[in-house]
Amino acid sequence: MKVSIITVLNTVNYGSALQTFATQRFFEKMGIEIEFVDYWRKDQTTNARIHRIITDKKKTLKQWVKKPLRDILEIKSIKKSEDIFRKFIVEKIHLTPKTYFSYEELVKDCPQADVYATGSDQMWNSGWNQGIEKSFFLEYAPENKKRIAFATSIGKTQFEKEEADEIIPLIKKYDLVTLREQSAVDLLKEYDIDGQLVLDPTLTLKKEDWFEILPKNKRTKPYLLVYQLHMSHNNADFTRAVQEIAARKGLEIVRVVYSYSDRKVGEKVVLPGVFEFLSLIRGAGFIVTDSFHGTAFSINFNKQFAVIYPEFFGTRMDNILRLTNLQNRRYQSSDSIEKWDTEIVYDEANRILEERRTRVEDVFKKYFEVTN
């Protein structure tokens, strides 16, 4: 049995790389041969990213003065990110021999498989993907082949009418739909699609599974780790949360960043290796994040943490916190600093995750037994 899976793997994002790795581990554990489509959206290529930086128009004189130096630092960051993320994908993930750059190329030369799958991450979020990506709905797959969705994310609670008119008929072609968020299950139910809630792939691996493959964290001083993906209206709240919690707990501030030009508070760790990133989470005394996977790994590794919801697509964080009964880990500006003195007791969250791991394994074991 061979499964061909398409997901967001050629992008500069630790969560995307790690969910791809975890998905591969999940299927291999069941004895399923898996191959990931080496697919690039045109806006994700290195040349496209560099072009956006060079042509970016700054609005103020101060921004124009700083632009040449900033461009140099951003391009340097892009070069390093390509080395970090593409190298990880090539070395760790089973890829198609051919690289695809468009839906049309996939239609013309479709990878051969018994089952075709849409992977996890925000594959069905047209806002995130800058439009409806037909490739992510497996429209290139042969009509006589099975289609499944593995822990796919929609990232929002409703579709626009025009969006639903195009997306829903595509999803109804799937034989099995599993989703990462309860909000996505509820949304598709409105369109008579039965989706099943499953864990994000990174959570299907226990913390011990991850710890076995992580490099040693060489840091000796206790630190608060910051992993901030979204630059939005809540930047002031984010900075205040980081500084107040770090000061109260006596922790140094260490921040994972994607660019050498980043100037936010804390010691910068620019584009650490993918597993090194996880080692930083493992070793942290406290974590502040606005990232879904930053939240997921904090929970999986039983860390003390606070989540600041981003301006858009915050339902992803809300869903994982509700699933594990950790809603009180959301940071809001009205919170008193004393709130973060209360440490998480992980007994219930760990029990829930273990039950959910068994559930997702049962769902796919049953599916592949019937398919075989």
Choice among 120-124, 176-180, 182-186, 240-244 with the minimum mean pLDDT: 120-124
Q: What is the dihedral of CA 301, 228, 24, 361, to 10 degrees?
A: 50
Note whether 256 and 318 are within 8 A (CB).
Answer: no
Indicate the domain borders of the chain.
2-50+80-205+354-371, 208-341
- Share in percent of the chain as helix, strand, coil (round to 5): 45, 15, 35
The confidence score (pLDDT) of residue 311 equals: 77
User: Each residue of 72-128: pLDDT tens digit?
Assistant: 788 787 888 888 999 999 999 999 999 999 999 999 999 999 999 999 988 998 777
Note whether 77 and 271 are within 8 A (CB).
Answer: yes
Structure-block tokens of residue 230? 């979204």
The confidence score (pLDDT) of residue 233 equals: 53
Topology at the third CATH level for domain 2-50+80-205+354-371 = Rossmann fold (3.40.50)
d(CA 95, CA 93): 6
List phi, psi (to 5°) of 70: -60, -40
Place of tokens 């009205």: 334
70-79, 127-136, 194-203: which has the highest mean pLDDT?
194-203
User: Each residue of 4-41: pLDDT tens digit?
Assistant: 999 988 889 999 999 999 999 999 999 999 999 999 87
The confidence score (pLDDT) of residue 268 equals: 96
**Do the first three CATH levels of 2-50+80-205+354-371 and 208-341 match, i.e. the same topology?**
yes
The SS3 of residue 64 is helix
Q: How far is CA 316 from the centre of its chain?
A: 10
Topology at the third CATH level for domain 208-341 = Rossmann fold (3.40.50)
